[in-house]
Amino acid sequence: MTFLLTEDQEMLRDTAMAFARDELPVTHLRDLRDSGANGKDAATRQKLAELGFFGVIVPEEPGGETFGLVGLGQILEAQGRTLAATPLLQTALIAASALQMGGSPAQQAEWLPKIAAGEVTFALALDEAAHFSPLSIATEAETNGQGYTINGEKRFVPDGHHADMLIVVARTFGEPGDRHGLSLFLVPANAKGVSVQELETVDSHGAAHITLTDVVVKGDALLGAADQGADILEPLLDRAAIGQAAEMLGSAQAAFDMTLEYLNNRKQFGQLIGSFQSLQHRAAKMFTELEMTRSCVAAALAAADSGKSDVAELASLAKARASELAHLVSNECVQMHGGIGMTDVADPGLYMKRARVQEAMYGSASWHRDRYARLNGY
């Protein structure tokens, strides 16, 4: 397996890095926060669409070539470096993947071109409690003769406060915790019976609690086969975890670079603090963790594109490593900046807040370590 980027992927990476640096610096997130936008940014969405970022994994025609998840991973890493709030993870990765893995020809024909053009955004409405537990679904979807009636509550839905469409995970059979009996539905966010409670999150990206009360959808809203939704959901969540890990890698790299620059410029008692051996050791640990995580993320991205049999293991490895990395580097960034690191005028605190949210999304480090062990028979 090679982790080298193609020439086209390298160009995509360079474009994404330049765009994040020039158009979406950390000051842009501050402006969104201070204006009360709560992560909603129509202007940036339009620019992303013009660059073609929404369609990175969507072929122009069936069977066509794409940049793949490896390419999209470069964009997510770039936006992670500046803490950018964009719909790319939910829409360009999760929704596009769900439609390609489980969508009917009619669903793909309707939605994939709109995703690629940036005309519509999606949000995966999955979690129903404070912790990630993808099989613990109590939301019910009952047949009504012409389609389904959905009732339930979804919690902390990323992008749920501004998405146009929802991918709702509901139970059509069985009890919470059962793998069999899950189904996925495409539900307009403005459908009758859908209530969206906008949340202000600590990372200033926003989220939503979503309540579905007697929401009626037609049979063609079903994504994949009834009761077999886990067959789509599990590989979909692997891809979501890999994409999230790529973004976290970018955030951790930026926080490390910021810290290293401070160590090489801040003087204390007439000496650069970077000359203190104890701080050098801590910086060295961060560097080695960054490099190991970069390899894990690259392996997971490549495996997802090539359809390797160990994608689930590599996804959990990448997300667990990325979560631990983000926690370590964001903590060290704040601590090594000293008193200034604790203030809002400095950026370290923003990276720590974003890291805490990222750590919980699509499974914590402990959740993925446990899953990795189970997948390997421990």
pLDDT one-digit tens code per residue, 93-149: 999 999 999 999 999 999 999 999 999 999 999 999 989 999 999 999 999 989 999
User: What is the CATH T-level fold of the domain 124-223, as seen in this structure?
Assistant: Butyryl-CoA Dehydrogenase, subunit A; domain 2 (2.40.110)
Structure confidence by residue, pLDDT tens digits, 222-273 = 999 999 999 999 999 999 999 999 999 999 999 999 999 999 998 888 898 8
Q: Does domain 7-120 have CATH number 1.10.3720.10?
A: no
User: Looking at residues 207-233, what average pLDDT do you find?
Assistant: 97
Share of the chain above pLDDT 90, in %: 91
**Superfamily of segment(s) 230-375:** Butyryl-CoA Dehydrogenase, subunit A, domain 3 (1.20.140.10)
For residue 1, pLDDT over 60 is answered with: no
Computed over every residue of the chain, the mean pLDDT equals 95
Helix and strand counts by DSSP (H, E) for the chain? 11, 10
List of residues 6+ apart from 105 with CB closer than 8 A: none
> Coil, helix or strand for 155?
strand
What digits encode the pLDDT tens for the residues 345-365?
999 999 999 999 999 999 999
Note the residue count of the chain: 378
Domain positions in the chain: 7-120, 124-223, 230-375
DSSP codes of every residue in 314-358: HHHHHHHHHHHHHHHHHHHHHHHTGGGGGSTTSSHHHHHHHHHHH
CB 29 within 8 A of CB 38: no
Mean per-residue pLDDT for 184-193?
Answer: 98
7-120 and 124-223 share one fold: no
